[in-house]
Amino acid sequence: MVHKGNIKRAEKSDILGILEILNYEITHSTALYEYEPRSLAQQLDWFMDKQENNFPVIVVVKEGKVLGFGSFGAFRPRPAYRFTVEHSVYVHHEFHGQGIGKRLLKQLIALAKEDGYHSMIAVIDSLNAGSIQFHTTFGFVEIGQLREVGYKFDRWLDLTLMQLRIE
Ligand SMILES: CC(C)(COP(=O)(O)OP(=O)(O)OC[C@H]1O[C@@H](n2cnc3c(N)ncnc32)[C@H](O)[C@@H]1OP(=O)(O)O)[C@@H](O)C(=O)NCCC(=O)NCCS
């Protein structure tokens, strides 16, 4: 396989690259239920929050460019959810379909297992067939759909919930 960058823990200097990936998706797709691009300060706060709560942020970087990132965090804040995480994986739109997402999700699952989590939840816009297929290849199963819970680009959006129970 062609070497497509290094996978590593994100550092502060990677956050601008992460922000660019997210802001592209916010403005061009329904992958995120957000309307406005985020600021660098907001994304740095997100990163600090992950670090303070011992949640990972990982990146694939090639020649200083962030090609993709992955992370997870609390699924819901109440204490009895403590063994369940919700994750995200985003790959720069010019680098989709090259195995970068696969490397990131594989690593996130390994980290979740290492940290003793029991379930991973993917919350995916139902139009995002690529992401649903992507998660299926890792053994995530569709649990259900929430109808018309989002509204973006002048239309209602459905959410698909997928779950992986970690052995
Ligand atoms: C979804 C996403 C993370 C996948 O990452 P990627 O690097 O493009 O995917 P990979 O090349 O690692 O693909 C891994 C597998 O996922 C599946 N897959 C990925 N993208 C797919 C697509 N668009 N359609 C169908 N299957 C897809 C394939 O089964 C693929 O396996 P294969 O290479 O053996 O065919 C990426 O396309 C992305 O960032 N999309 C936009 C943001 C997003 O939707 N993030 C997820 C939010 S829930």
Q: How far is CA 153 from CA 7, 33, 34, 150, 160, in A?
A: 34, 10, 11, 10, 18
Ligand 1 centre from 76 Cα, in Å? Answer: 25
Q: What is the pTM of this model?
A: 0.96
71 lines ligand 1 (CB under 6 A): no
Residue nearest to ligand 1 atom 41, measured at CA: 90
CA of 99 to the centre of ligand 1 (A): 8
For tokens 């956050």, name the residue.
Answer: 15
Q: Is the pLDDT of residue 3 over 90?
A: no
Q: What is the pLDDT of residue 1?
A: 45
CA distance 125 to 152: 11
Q: How confident is the model at residue 5 (pLDDT cuts 50, 70, 90)?
A: confident
Binding site membership of 100 for ligand 1 (Cβ less than 6 Å) = yes
- Residue 89's nearest CA partner among 107, 75, 115 is 107
The overall longest dimension of the chain from CA atoms, in Å, is: 43
The rounded Å distance from CA 23 to ligand 1 centre is 18
- For the segment 64-96, what is each residue's pLDDT rounded down to a tens digit? 999 999 999 999 999 999 999 999 999 999 999
- For ligand 1, say whether the CB of 69 is within 6 Å of any of its atoms: no
CATH 3.40.630.30 fits 6-165, yes or no: yes
* Look-up of token digits 């195995």: 99
CA gap 143, 14 in Å, rounded: 33
Q: With CA atoms as reference, report the closest residue to 111 among 68, 70, 150, 148.
A: 70
**Can you read off the two tokens belonging to residue 155?**
């239309």
Return mean pLDDT, the chain. 97
Q: Where are the domains of the chain?
A: 6-165
> pLDDT per residue over 15-63, tens digit each?
999 999 999 999 999 999 999 999 999 999 999 999 999 999 999 999 9
In 3D space, the residue among 137, 72, 80, 141 whose CA is nearest the CA of residue 111 turns out to be 72
**pLDDT, tens only, 126-157:** 999 999 999 999 999 999 999 999 999 999 99
